[in-house]
Amino acid sequence: MATHGSFSEDPQTEWITDPEKADRNMKLLADFSYTDPNNRVWLAPKGSKINGASIPRPLWSTVGSPYTDDYRRASIVHDVACAPDSGVPRKDADAMFFHACRAGGCDAVQARILYAGVRIGAWASSILPKHSLSPARLLFRSHIGNRFNEESLLIGKLSDISREMQGLPDDAAIEQMDEIIGRHIKV
């Protein structure tokens, strides 16, 4: 069985409250890291602001919400890696997220679906109208006229991709997953 890496420890966080926005953000109170299968250390430094898995809100009922399940720790290092000033290509951050999900306890199918979810999130933030996404470009605003069409599009893409991914072996490579995702979206 292949190793998917390991986490430094349990993360230490505190909620950030903001009277102007939904209270979804957290701040790291200590350094936290993930070491991937290639021994690359993905550091989330003390003071980093995080907001959970970068999965579009319409997919939460299928994939899971930002702070639930065994991918919570993976979402921390993914958030930091996806920050605009990180210098990390989004594709690399998403591949790391897959392995970190596995290291966190997700089974192969769940990790593949989560990976598809963040790849769809990257795609959606690049193709959907800017006004349809929140300022963080992760969540739909609730007052959009085309919201249901966009939600249906994302849910349909995830459903089609997930159906194909379920046939992959547990040790499927990222490239195999990307081939399936690439048939449905262009990231």
Q: How many angstroms separate the CA atoms of 30 and 159, rounded?
A: 37
For the ranges 43-52, 97-106, 141-150, which has the lowest average pLDDT?
A: 141-150
Q: How many angstroms separate the CA atoms of 162 and 68, rounded?
A: 19
Q: What is the mean pLDDT of the chain?
A: 84
What are the distances in angstroms from CA 29 to CA 15, 26, 165? 10, 9, 37
Q: Are 70 and 106 in contact (CB under 8 A)?
A: yes
Q: What is the pLDDT of residue 117?
A: 87
Q: What is the pLDDT of residue 137?
A: 41
Q: How many angstroms separate the CA atoms of 150 and 175, rounded?
A: 27
Burial track 5-29 (b if 16+ CB lie within 10 A, e otherwise): bebbeebebeeeeeeeeeebbbebe
The amino acid occupying position 180 is: I
The amino acid occupying position 81 is: A
By DSSP bridging, strand 26-28 and strand 13-15 are: antiparallel
Q: How many angstroms separate the CA atoms of 113 and 161, rounded?
A: 8
What is the pLDDT averaged over residues 50-70? 73
H/E stretch holding 111 reads: helix 108-127
Q: What is the pLDDT of residue 53?
A: 63
Q: What is the pLDDT of residue 23?
A: 73
Q: How many angstroms separate the CA atoms of 38 and 103, rounded?
A: 13
Q: What is the pLDDT of residue 68?
A: 75
